[in-house]
Amino acid sequence: MKLTRKSVGCHFSIFLLTTLFLTLINSPAVSTEYHALKGVNNVKAVFDVSMGSPQKANLVFWAVRNVYDDKSVRALPEPPEVAVVFHGPAVKMISSNRDGVSDEEKKALDEFAGLVRQMKQDGVKMEVCLYAANVLGVDPGSILPEIDHVGNGFISVAGYQSQGYSVVAIP
């Protein structure tokens, strides 16, 4: 395999995300661990996702799921509320169209689709920006059925923020 500057950067990014993942899963989730949760009734977060790499998304979305699945968050008086808005290159990750995609990427995309299905079953609100889909040539009919269509994802993010959701950008 020939190493290029791009492939080295990609491998380094995956290494960093894997290190973060392993650190997080080996950390105890005790309610006193999160000083930020003192006096909080519930967590409300909207993840503004433009990331286009399914391999990285599979690692990062572990942490997204952990936001609503963590026992410290679950111990709060009210249940967590989580939304995900996909726009930009992320729109291609949630399309069932696999034309021109390598076998390795297909596997990562299938894994990500399974994760999206599970998150929807868990009650996560998910939306896709149709403006981004149009610009990127993604057929809205190919978008995973678990994801609601909106005209402009930025309006959704702003709306969630107006409802008290914290915005977490995943570029």
Read off the pLDDT of residues 91-110 as tens digits, 9 standing for 90 and up: 999 999 999 999 999 999 99
DSSP string, 40-75: -S--EEEEEE----HHHHHHHHHHHHHHHH-HHHHT
pLDDT per residue as tens digits for the range 135-169: 999 999 999 999 999 999 999 999 999 999 999 99
**What backbone torsions phi and psi does residue 149 show, to the nearest 5 degrees?**
-95, 135
Give residue 23's pLDDT. Answer: 45
- Does residue 32 have a pLDDT over 60? no
* 15, containing H or E segment: helix 5-25
Write down all domains in the chain, each with its CATH number in brackets: 43-170 (3.40.1260.10)
CB-based contacts of 85: which residues, under 8 Å, 6+ apart?
46, 47, 48, 49, 126, 127, 128, 129, 150, 153, 156, 157, 160
- Let me know: does 50 contact 60? Beta carbons within 8 Å: no
The answer to whether residues 84 and 127 touch, using CB atoms and an 8 Å cutoff, is yes
Write down the pTM of the prediction: 0.81
Decide if 128 contacts 94 (C-beta within 8 A). yes
